[in-house]
Chain A
Amino acid sequence: MAATRSRKGQTAVYSIVILWVLISLAPVVWMLLQSIKPAAQVFQIPPVWFFTPSLQNYRDLFSTTSGTQFGHYLLVSLTVTICTVLLTILASVPASYALTFMRVRRPNFWLILILLASMLPPVVLLVPLFQLWNDLHLLDNPVALILTYTAMNIPFTVWLVRGFMAQIPRELRESALVDGAGDIRILLQVMLPVVKSGIAAAAIFTVISAWNELLFAVLLTTDNRTAPAGIVATLISDRGINWGKLYAAATMVAIPIILFTVAVQRHVVRGFTFGAVKG
């Protein structure tokens, strides 16, 4: 009796979860299908469910004669994302180390400040940052995006990595110091291996946020757009939109993120729960 009940329970539990997965992934699957439909059938109603898949939309998207800059946008996105992640980690991890292990004056004050900074809605800095980059003649330059995104991601990264480091006993550093190791060596050889999953989680969140960001991308760039900003600009400005091409572009932005998510989901879940648990 108990066994059948639990089997019934399991069936119910799986049905609920699978139902959610089906509903929430249906729009994503639809997007992928639209992108490989022949352009003429993309907007046909009733929808064409069975069609000969074609990569024509993608060929149009990247063809040099079509006038779209999408290849360039993708390259900008890639550059901005990679540089943002590297800079964020490079600036944040040593800071987390210092705030965890070194005798900083008023450490709690700094931590609260970092926490507040991570809560700040980016739109609050919209006007002054636009003026700053304008004054520095860096509008439409990926450098402005990279530095802006880095600044937006440092507070949370410091907070998350510090949470992981705080679990390491302080004696580990002290004994290494006694052995004559410097802090740089301790950070690189002792701490990094222990907190690497925390750093991975922080890096993943930074990748996602830099790749997906739209507000500053549409504000600070005109020609050197990131891919999401490029797509949205096409959507909003153009009259005769080629929807097949737009779907191909949307898919090109989505696919790397989906693959990335599948590849790193273990760290993401860890970071999510740890971030929430550690606040």
Chain B
Amino acid sequence: MSSVLIRSEAEPTPVRPPSGTRVPQKERWAAFAFTLGAVIILVGLILYPLLDDIRLSFSRLSPGVSTPWVGLRNYKAVLTDPGFWASVWVTARYALTALILEFVIGFGLALAMARIVRGGGVLRTLILIPTMLTPAVAAINFRNLLNFDSGLVNYFVTLLGGQPKAWLADSGYSFAALVLTDVWRSTPFFVLVLSAGLVALSPEMIEASELDGAGGWQKLRYIQIPMLVPLILVTVLFRVIDLFRTFDTVYTLTNGGPGNATNVVAMQIYNDANVGQYTSYAATEAAVFMVLTLVVSVSLIRVMRSQR
């Protein structure tokens, strides 16, 4: 069943015409015309900037200085920069923690959602709202909720007899706040995808396992989770890509701080680029980050394909 569900994940269905047929000239022109708009935009605004970034990473560009070729000097600097690796580490820890929490909570909620008989539509809409809400706006709100003097969180903490804390001034708490903001925002994605996957599992198989005396836990462990593995992996891939992009929440909620406790790579590159002194340095960081992202995505895709 799951193979029906995941018919062509991450692998295009072959669209090659039967071999031997010559592609008529007219159709070639038509294909060219149909893709032209997308190609122009993608070449101009993705491919060209990408190549330009690589060019910049081999140059030195600061106000008043413009050396077109400095060899691997920027790469050497970036790869030995503890600040850069700290931001990679923050991103990795952030992505992993958020991913695990979102998966566990999301799967639990998906199991519940898949059993709901009535009102599922309304609940789904409500669940979806945090995902769609502007992250910067949500982060502003959370920043206020966590405010030392006038935040609602400290109000409740004091109400329960605790000591108010400067949440966003503490590296552990601000990291946790960042993770929880994403859990709040992105768990619904897991809920929706996994509950759809659970509903689509063949009922015969589940019933058969029930007749064989499988309890709820066994059913989950030996039937439902294994059948959903391909879907889970695709969802994880989507989330990882998205988590690596995180900028809005960090920029608004913590601005990378305190210190660089929440300084994700996107924030690091933004700051280096924005200061202006470090144009080619930021470009090099971006190139290295691109390679890291590519390695992670491609490994996930390979795991996905080996699962089928």
Contact = CB atoms under 8 A, between A and B. Distances in A.
B294 A214 contact: no
Given A99-B35, A147-B41, A276 B109 contact: no
B75 to A, nearest CB: 15
A127 B152 CA distance: 39
A274 to B, nearest CB: 9
Contacts of A90: 37
B133 interface: yes
B128 interface: yes
Contacts of B44: 151
A231 B136 contact: yes
Interface stretch (A16-24, A55-63, A195-203): A16-24
Contact of A269 (B6, B41, B192, B290): B192
Q: Interface SS of chain B: helix, strand, loop or mixed?
A: helix
A200 to B, nearest CB: 15
B37 A254 contact: no
Interface residues of B, number: 110
Interface stretch (B96-104, B111-119, B168-176, B204-212): B111-119
A127 B56 contact: yes
B14 A126 contact: no
Contacts of B123: 17-18, 21
Given A20-B109, A98-B35, A154-B41, A27 B142 contact: yes
A76 interface: no
B136 A273 contact: no
Contact of B9 (A10, A107, A262, A279): A279
Contacts of A119: 241, 293-294, 297
Given A154-B42, A158-B38, A273-B193, A212 B135 contact: yes
A94 B154 CA distance: 54
B261 interface: no
Contacts of B184: 24, 27
A131 interface: yes
Contacts of B130: 24-25, 28
Contacts of A97: 34
Nearest to A208: B132
B125 interface: yes
Contact of B196 (A21, A166, A232, A273): A273
User: How many of chain A's residues touch chain B, expressed as a range?
Assistant: 35 or more
B127 A103 contact: no
A250 B130 CA distance: 14
Nearest to B39: A95
B281 to A, nearest CB: 9
A127 B140 contact: no
Given A21-B123, A250-B140, A10 B31 contact: no
Main secondary structure of the interface of A (DSSP, over half): helix
Nearest to A261: B132
A111 B112 CA distance: 36
Contact of A250 (B137, B149, B237): B137
A79 B206 CA distance: 50
B8 A166 contact: yes
B244 to A, nearest CB: 5
A150 B37 CA distance: 11
A183 B135 contact: no
B133 A103 contact: no
Interface stretch (B62-70, B78-86, B218-226, B264-272): B264-272
Given A17-B112, A27-B141, A123 B9 contact: no
B124 A265 contact: yes
B37 A278 contact: no
A70 to B, nearest CB: 13
A239 B166 CA distance: 19
A108 interface: yes
B136 A212 contact: yes
B283 interface: yes
A176 interface: no
B127 A20 contact: yes
A121 B293 contact: yes
B289 A124 contact: yes
B299 interface: no
B160 interface: no
B145 A120 contact: no
Interface in B21-53: 21, 23, 27-28, 30-31, 33-35, 37-39, 41-42, 44-46, 48-50, 52-53
A254 B133 contact: yes
B162 interface: no
A269 B307 CA distance: 25
Interface string B258-287: 000000011001100110000100110011
22 contacts: A94-B34, A94-B38, A98-B35, A104-B35, A105-B23, A108-B15, A119-B294, A120-B290, A121-B245, A121-B293, A123-B265, A123-B286, A124-B53, A126-B273, A158-B38, A162-B12, A166-B8, A183-B34, A212-B133, A235-B252, A277-B9, A277-B234
Given A102-B27, A212-B136, 18 more contacts: A9-B115, A24-B127, A27-B145, A91-B37, A91-B38, A95-B34, A95-B39, A98-B34, A99-B15, A101-B15, A121-B266, A127-B286, A212-B133, A215-B251, A219-B274, A228-B248, A235-B140, A254-B137
Pairs of residues from A and B, 9 with the lowest C-beta to C-beta distance, nearest first: A151-B45, A91-B37, A128-B49, A279-B9, A98-B34, A279-B10, A128-B52, A111-B12, A95-B38
